């Protein structure tokens, strides 16, 4: 079978991680290996590369590395993915944000921006658009370009609309878009209070103080030690009593951080910073 012809061994993955770190400065050593392996195998199949060729091209072709980075990180995202999470966010966190003169929100690992705009919709519905600002960050410059554009295919909007129905929010998701041919463009009103910028959770530090940090379906790609390091970063980036949201299947596993965060919603993994 052609599919099984190309594959990569665990020592080869380690070799690749070392090489990428040396040549490009990106550290993937804390990433989960099964997923990494699957992504690398996929790239090798797509580009028809043997392991040796892959190493060669990674060293010598800067353009290729950008493609590689885009392929190796998973950029599948949706607006209102896990509708019940957004329902919980709306009921349990938004009222807290409204007590601030100005609330700052960080969506870490925001990919093409769907989650940032979902939060923006929630804030608009709550009348907080003018009192809030959302930072979307990712390690990947290409996806951030897409995020800034805020243009999504009509096909994906259809499934986002289905998600939206389950959130219990008023109105319709289409209130937030202008539809042109087969694409939907996010209203400027929602884009106004957003900023998309490069930030690498593995190597970059605190850059602001936030009332809410949302980092969903990013931890699944990290081993537990790296997760703990990033929890430290989030802890330092949150104001006292600030909120942290993880993905629906991601929990805080570290005993140290279990003590530093209070569980607000067990099912949706919403936490609140306690202590100082």
Partner 1 sequence: MGPDKNLLERWHTTEILLLGGSAGSFKLLFQLVKGLPADLDKTVIIVIHRKRNFFSEIEKLFAENSFLPIREIEDKDIVKKNTIYIAPVNYHTLIENDGYFSLDVSEAVWYSKPSIDVTFESAAEVYKDRCMAILFSGANQDGAEGMLKLRQTGAVTIAQHPDDAEMDEMPTAAININAATYVLRTDEIFKLLHT
- Which one, 10 or 141, has the nearer CB to partner 1? 10
Binding of partner 1 by 32 (CB under 8 A) = yes
Regarding 4 and contact with partner 1 (CB under 8 A), the answer is yes
Q: Which of 15, 24, 26, 37 binds partner 1 (CB under 8 A)?
A: 37
Question: What does the alpha-carbon distance between residue 260 and residue 239 come to, in Å, rounded to a whole number?
Answer: 13
CB nearer partner 1, residue 31 or residue 133? 31
Angstrom distances, CA of residue 205 to CA of 40, 209, 252, 253:
28, 12, 20, 22
**Using the rule CB under 8 A, is 5 a contact of partner 1?**
no
- Output 81 or 260, the one with its CB closest to partner 1: 81
Q: Does residue 28 touch partner 1 according to CB under 8 A?
A: no
Decide: is 12 part of the binding site for partner 1 (CB under 8 A). no
Which x/- pattern, by CB under 8 A, does the window 74-103 give for partner 1?
x-xx---xxxx-------------------
Six-digit token string for 29: 């050593």
Nearest approach, Cβ of residue 162 and partner 1 (Å): 6
Residue 4 CB, nearest approach to partner 1 (Å): 6
**Token pair recorded at residue 93:** 């966190």
> At closest approach, how far in Å is the CB of 81 from partner 1?
7
- Site map 148..187 versus partner 1, x via CB under 8 A: --------------xx--x---------------------
Please list, in sequence order, all residues whose beta carbon lies within 8 angstroms of the beta carbon of residue 4, skipping any fewer than 6 positions away: none
Which region among 15-23, 29-37, 178-186, 191-199 touches partner 1 (by CB under 8 A)?
29-37
Q: Between 185 and 251, whose beta carbon lies closer to partner 1?
A: 251
List 243's β-bridge partners, or say none. Answer: 212, 272
Residue 150 Cβ vs partner 1, minimum distance, rounded to whole Å: 21
Bridge partner residues of 133 (DSSP):
104
d(CA 10, CA 40): 11
According to the binding rule CB under 8 A, does residue 14 interact with partner 1?
Answer: no
Letters for 231-270 (x = contact with partner 1 by CB under 8 A, - = none) are ----------------x-xxx-x-----------------
**Nearest distance in Å: CB 107, partner 1:** 15
In 3D space, the residue among 265, 266, 205, 260 whose CA is nearest the CA of residue 235 turns out to be: 260
Which residue, 33 or 187, is less far from partner 1 as judged by CB?
33
């Amino acid at each position: 079978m052609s599919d099984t012809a190309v594959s990569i061994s665990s020592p080869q993955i380690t070799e690749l991680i070392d090489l990428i770190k040396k040549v490009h400065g990106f550290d993937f050593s804390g990433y989960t290996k099964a997923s990494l392996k699957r992504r690398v195998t996929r790239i090798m199949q797509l580009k028809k590369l043997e392991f040796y060729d892959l190493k060669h091209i990674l060293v010598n072709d800067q353009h290729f590395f950008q493609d590689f980075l885009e392929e190796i990180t998973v950029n599948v995202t949706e607006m209102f993915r896990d509708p019940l999470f957004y329902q919980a966010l709306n009921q349990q966190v938004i009222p807290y944000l409204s007590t601030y003169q100005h609330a700052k929100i960080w969506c870490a690992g925001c990919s093409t921006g769907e989650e940032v705009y979902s939060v923006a919709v929630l804030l608009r519905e709550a009348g907080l658009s003018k009192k809030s600002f959302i930072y979307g960050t990712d390690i990947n410059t290409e996806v951030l370009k897409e995020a800034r554009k805020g243009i999504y295919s009509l096909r994906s909007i259809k499934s986002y609309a289905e998600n939206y129905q389950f959130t219990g929010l008023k109105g319709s998701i289409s209130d937030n878009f202008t539809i042109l041919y087969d694409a939907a463009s996010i209203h400027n009103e929602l884009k106004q209070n957003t900023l998309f910028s490069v930030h690498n959770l593995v190597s970059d530090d605190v850059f602001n103080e936030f009332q809410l940090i949302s980092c969903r379906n990013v931890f699944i790609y990290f081993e537990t030690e790296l997760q703990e390091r990033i929890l430290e970063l989030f802890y330092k980036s949150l104001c006292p009593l600030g909120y942290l949201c993880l993905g629906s299947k991601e929990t805080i596993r570290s005993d140290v951080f279990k003590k530093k965060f209070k569980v607000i919603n067990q099912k949706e993994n919403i936490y609140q910073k306690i202590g100082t």
